[in-house]
């Protein structure tokens, strides 16, 4: 079956059952609960026609065999409720498509011996699939089943191309439902609205978003280099009361980033539509020179390329020596091979910065998630070495840097 035929799921089945006094249903549950028949839109405890004082319990034929096969202590408990082997009988049920769970439907129609449709992401009313090749002939059936069975789902899409490294979106095919891609999700006490077909959103990063928000001190500063629609920036401003500079190159992401700032009624968020390197080099220096006492965090969540943008920090404050040193923590993401993930991540960062990172400068190195069996997404959080920021441009002659001592007492906070 490659096109869903709901009529094929209509069948008559016989299941074991037991009649019991209504007042004893609750008392019998310690024994019967694990045996109850569990199907969609089918109550396992039903009324007995013509007798309000009795109830019928429908049991799973796979789990329950006979009264005699029950443990002795369970038999004793049922005997105390006036139940014995003669209390059990068989009941004929008329089942239809709506009675079967998603897994039951897929098991009935998808190829045996191969991985089924075991995982998907939900983004508001949208289900996002990444189907393997052997499931593609069944894609429309899979989509329709998900629309039928999952409450609130109106659209099912399948990823049909790799993620574009420039704007971080991808081509998708609608398998079932409406071609409506504007959706809303709630995460970290915030509401996010966006067009899923035009921006990047990964619900599996919810935990990582929360981890970063918890790392941010209250009223600190966040520079979000690849902000997307704001999963770091908006809760940072709303929950942690941070001063936020949020940037994304994708015009659609920038549009929805601004919309989410408005939707969540957050203040102290400046938004930008710039290349990440340009954002770092143009927007950070003025702030670093005027508000140096606040903890500053920089998020760089573009795993395919983020490490390459770290060179923007080299010489960012060239020719200036700050007193005191700035407290800047960078959270950068990258994909690494499983076998050498942690050493590879550190080596990548040090190579991009052209500077070593001391152990005490590392805040944490986190394995965020498995992308594939041999590919991991990692985050290295580290305090950027001051020498990286103040390094003189290579073409300039070496000279004593002009010293800029900041009068902290007179700074406008």
pLDDT interval class at 292 (50, 70, 90): low
| Listed range (215-224, 285-294, 317-326) with the worst mean pLDDT | 317-326
| Listed range (82-86, 151-155, 394-398) with the worst mean pLDDT | 394-398
Is 285 found in the same domain as 228? Answer: yes
Q: Which residues pair with 186 in a beta bridge?
A: 191
Question: Which CATH number belongs to the domain containing residue 83 in this structure?
Answer: 3.30.70
68 is known to lie in a ligand binding site = no
Q: What is the pLDDT of residue 162?
A: 63
Is 372 found in the same domain as 278? Answer: yes
| For range 123-148, the mean pLDDT | 95
Q: What is the pLDDT of residue 400?
A: 40
Alpha-carbon span 210 to 201, nearest angstrom: 15
Domain count, the chain: 3
Is 93 found in the same domain as 124? Answer: no
What is the DSSP code string of 222-269? EEETT-TTSTTHHHHHHTS--EEEEE-S-HHHHHHHHHHHHHTT--SE
| For range 105-109, the mean pLDDT | 94
Cα 91 off chain centre by? 44
Q: What is the pLDDT of residue 393?
A: 56
Q: Does 271 map to a domain? A: yes
Q: Does 191 map to a domain? A: no
Q: What is the pLDDT of residue 371?
A: 83
Q: What is the pLDDT of residue 165?
A: 55
Question: Which CATH number belongs to the domain containing residue 218 in this structure?
Answer: 3.40.50.150
Of 57, 45, 48, 50, the closest CA to residue 89 belongs to 57
Statement: residue 325 has pLDDT above 80: no
What's phi and psi for 137, nearest 5 deg? -65, -20
275 is known to lie in a ligand binding site = yes
Statement: residue 176 has pLDDT above 50: yes
Q: What is the pLDDT of residue 324?
A: 73
| For range 167-184, the mean pLDDT | 89
Is 52 found in the same domain as 20? Answer: yes
Q: What is the pLDDT of residue 69?
A: 93
List the 121-123 sheet strands across, edge first: 121-123, 126-129, 155-159, 172-177
Alpha-carbon span 148 to 101, nearest angstrom: 10
Q: What are the b/e assignments for 172-207, b being 16+ CB within 10 Å?
A: bbbbbbeeebebebebbebebbbbbbbbbbbeebee
Statement: residue 409 has pLDDT above 60: no
Asked if residue 304 lies in contact with residue 168, where contact means CB atoms within 8 angstroms, the answer is: no
Q: What is the pLDDT of residue 54?
A: 93
Share of the chain above pLDDT 70, in %: 92
| Listed range (199-203, 335-339, 365-369) with the worst mean pLDDT | 335-339
Of 146, 202, 151, 200, the closest CA to residue 175 belongs to 146
Is 26 found in the same domain as 51? Answer: yes
Q: Does 140 map to a domain? A: yes
Is 304 found in the same domain as 288? Answer: yes
pLDDT interval class at 390 (50, 70, 90): confident
Is 174 found in the same domain as 109? Answer: yes
Q: Does 305 map to a domain? A: yes
Asked if residue 326 lies in contact with residue 389, where contact means CB atoms within 8 angstroms, the answer is: yes
Q: Domain ends where: 43, 75, 99?
A: 99
Q: Does 397 map to a domain? A: no
- Print the domain residue range for 137: 102-180
Is 235 found in the same domain as 341? Answer: yes
249 is known to lie in a ligand binding site = yes
Strands 88-95 and 11-21: antiparallel
188 is known to lie in a ligand binding site = no
Q: Dihedral of CA 218/219/224/228: which sign?
A: positive
Statement: residue 305 has pLDDT above 70: yes
Statement: residue 302 has pLDDT above 90: yes
Contacts of 73 (CB under 8 A, 6+ apart): none
Mean pLDDT of the chain: 90
Is 206 found in the same domain as 137? Answer: no
Q: Does 185 map to a domain? A: no
Q: Does 400 map to a domain? A: no
**pLDDT tens by residue, 1-34:** 899 999 999 999 999 999 999 999 999 999 999 9
Q: What is the pLDDT of residue 398?
A: 39
Is 348 found in the same domain as 244? Answer: yes
Q: Which long-range contacts (CB under 8 A, 24 or more apart) does 45-50 make?
A: 48/19
Question: Which CATH number belongs to the domain containing residue 148 in this structure?
Answer: 3.30.300.110
Specify the DSSP element, H or E, that contains 353: helix 341-353
End-to-end CA distance of the chain: 66
297 is known to lie in a ligand binding site = no
Is 126 found in the same domain as 271? Answer: no
Q: Does 234 map to a domain? A: yes
pLDDT interval class at 403 (50, 70, 90): very low
52 is known to lie in a ligand binding site = no
Statement: residue 291 has pLDDT above 90: no
Is 336 found in the same domain as 216? Answer: yes
Residue 176: both structure tokens together: 């079932």
Asked if residue 138 lies in contact with residue 109, where contact means CB atoms within 8 angstroms, the answer is: yes
């Amino acid at each position: 079956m490659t096109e869903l035929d709901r009529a094929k799921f209509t069948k008559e089945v016989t299941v074991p059952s037991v009649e019991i006094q209504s007042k004893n249903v609750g008392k019998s549950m310690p024994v019967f609960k694990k045996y109850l028949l569990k199907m969609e839109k089918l109550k396992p405890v039903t009324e007995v026609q013509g007798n309000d004082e009795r109830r019928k319990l429908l049991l799973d034929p796979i789990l329950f065999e006979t009264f005699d096969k029950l443990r002795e202590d369970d038999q004793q408990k049922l005997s105390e409720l006036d139940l014995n082997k003669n209390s059990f009988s068989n009941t004929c049920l008329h089942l239809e498509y709506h009675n079967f769970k998603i897994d039951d439907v897929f098991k009935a129609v998808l190829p045996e011996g191969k991985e089924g449709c075991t995982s998907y992401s939900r983004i508001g009313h949208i289900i996002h699939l990444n189907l393997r090749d052997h499931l593609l002939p069944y894609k429309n059936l899979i989509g329709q089943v998900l629309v039928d069975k999952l409450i609130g789902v109106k659209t099912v899409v399948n990823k049909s191309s790799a993620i574009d490294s420039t704007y971080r979106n991808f081509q998708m095919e609608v398998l079932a439902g409406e071609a409506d891609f504007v959706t809303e999700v709630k995460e970290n006490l915030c509401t996010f609205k966006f067009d899923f077909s035009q921006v990047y959103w990964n619900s599996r990063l919810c935990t990582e978003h929360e981890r970063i928000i918890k790392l941010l001190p209250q009223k600190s500063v966040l520079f979000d280099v690849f902000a997307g629609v704001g999963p770091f920036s908006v809760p940072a401003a709303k929950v942690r009361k941070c001063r936020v500079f949020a940037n994304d190159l994708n015009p659609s992401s920038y549009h929805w980033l601004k919309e989410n700032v408005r939707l969540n009624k957050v203040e102290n968020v400046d938004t930008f539509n710039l290349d990440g390197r340009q954002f770092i080099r143009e927007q950070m220096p003025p702030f670093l020179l005027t508000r140096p006492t606040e903890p500053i965090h920089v998020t760089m969540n573009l795993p395919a390329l983020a490490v390459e943008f770290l060179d923007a920090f080299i010489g960012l404050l060239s020719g200036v020596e700050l007193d005191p040193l700035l407290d800047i923590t960078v959270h950068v993401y990258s994909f690494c091979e499983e076998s050498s993930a942690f050493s590879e991540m550190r080596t990548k960062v040090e190579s991009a910065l052209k500077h070593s990172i001391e152990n005490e400068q590392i805040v944490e190195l986190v394995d965020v998630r498995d992308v594939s069996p041999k590919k991991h997404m990692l985050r290295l959080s580290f305090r950027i070495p001051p020498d990286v920021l103040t390094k003189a441009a290579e073409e300039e002659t070496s000279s004593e840097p002009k010293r800029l001592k900041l009068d902290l007492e007179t700074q406008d906070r």
